[in-house]
Amino acid sequence: SDPVLKVQDLSVWYPVEQGGLFRRRTVDLKAVDGVSFELAPGETLGVVGESGCGKSTLARALLGLVKPRRGRVLWLGEDLVKLDDEAMRRKRKELQIIFQDPLASLDPRMTVGDIIAEPLWTFYPNIARVQVMERVRGMMKLVGLLPNQVNRYPHEFSGGQCQRIGIARALVLNPRLIVCDEPVSALDVSIQAQIINLLRELQKKLRLSLIFIAHDLSVMRHISDRVMVMYLGRSMEVSDAASLYRRPLHPYTSALIRSAPVPDPALARFRADAGLTEDMPSPLNPPSGCVFHTRCPYVVKRCQRDVPALRRMPDGNWVACHRAEDLDLGIVKPAPVKL
Ligand code: SF4
Ligand code: MG
């Protein structure tokens, strides 16, 4: 079916002052630089990359919370970039965001019931209170909270429960798209799976489109239909999840997979060795050509000079690497490491 969201050549630049007292200059930090992708109804796109790669800026730009330098965000055919603040505010009925730190994103002076109800009051000020509370209790049940806890305060709940409250609040207006900005990064590993499963269930039940942002690939494996890999504000690869994990197209994707945390300590050490050693370059001064060339094990001369375009491969996946055709980055199980 037709995509609900089409993002075209989206760029968000922040002006940054640099230099000392006498040689001040303004440099553009290209937080997001020419990102394009599409999202189908009911689809989940994972967005992954190290911190500082522009994931959160992308999330904010999609929801109109920061103004892009250029590009289009077509939501059901309408360009959100062109909307004024008031028109964008009205779009919140359809587009919602869930933040990383569940407790910090909930007002500590409000009861859970009032937190979940607030978007309803904003959009429907004349709605009857009994109707609101009925909806709130329904939402609490939907996300696995006890409706009789409606008058409690956020600090009385665990981190995982607070994230459920955040999800209930995001869903109360029946949105069609939810952007989840690292929704489980602040949670214990044991709780992460519960929240991811909940999001997946809700997504199926409500036919939501989801954008699920994370800094490592392991947490999004079970929720993403497709994954976009970002590096220094750019899109390096957009692939369906199954082929991305089995046979990544981009050397950076492959490094991320190999450096993902794994439970086996021997394997973990192997993967750390095989993974990313050099630090990420400053986004204020990104490398020429392919922005990944300073960390890429497969770099050739051309990579330092020419920016690789994101291009479509025969299998329908997208990659920005000059050498995508001649590299085979299939993830083979590493030989057992002797302890
Ligand atoms: Fe590595 Fe060159 Fe591909 Fe960039 S274009 S990922 S430097 S091989
Ligand atoms: Mg972030």
Query: Which value does ipTM take for this structure?
Result: 0.97
Mean pLDDT of the chain: 90
Q: What is the pLDDT of residue 40?
A: 96
Rounded Cα distance between 120 and 264, Å, is: 47
Q: What is the pLDDT of residue 271?
A: 47
**Phi, psi dihedral angles at 142 (to 5 degrees):** -60, -35
Rounded Cα distance between 242 and 12, Å, is: 30
Q: What is the pLDDT of residues 17-46, one digit of tens each?
A: 888 778 888 889 999 999 999 999 999 999
Q: What is the pLDDT of residues 70-93, one digit of tens each?
A: 999 999 999 999 999 999 999 999
Atom 3 (ligand 1): residue with closest C-alpha?
Answer: 321
Residue 296 Cβ inside 6 Å of ligand 1? The answer reads yes
Rounded Cα distance between 144 and 287, Å, is: 47
Note the ligand closest to the C-alpha atom of 297.
1
Q: Decide if pLDDT at 119 tops 70.
A: yes
Q: What is the 332 CA–ligand 2 centroid distance (Å)?
A: 31
Residue 255 Cβ inside 6 Å of ligand 1? The answer reads no
Q: What is the 181 CA–ligand 2 centroid distance (Å)?
A: 7
Extents of the domains making up the chain: 5-18+26-254
Q: Which atom of ligand 1 is nearest to the CA of 291?
A: 4
Q: Return the CATH fold of 5-18+26-254.
A: Rossmann fold (3.40.50)
Residue 292 Cβ inside 6 Å of ligand 1? The answer reads yes
Q: Among 20-24, 45-49, 188-192, 216-220, which is the least confidently predicted range?
A: 20-24
Atom 7 (ligand 1): residue with closest C-alpha?
Answer: 293
Q: What is the pTM of this model?
A: 0.91
Residue 289 Cβ inside 6 Å of ligand 1? The answer reads no
- List CB-based neighbours of ion ligand 2 within 5 Å: 56
Rounded Cα distance between 3 and 9, Å, is: 16
CB 236 within 8 A of CB 320: yes
CB 31 within 8 A of CB 5: no
Give residue 110's pLDDT band: very low, low, confident or very high (50, 70, 90).
very high
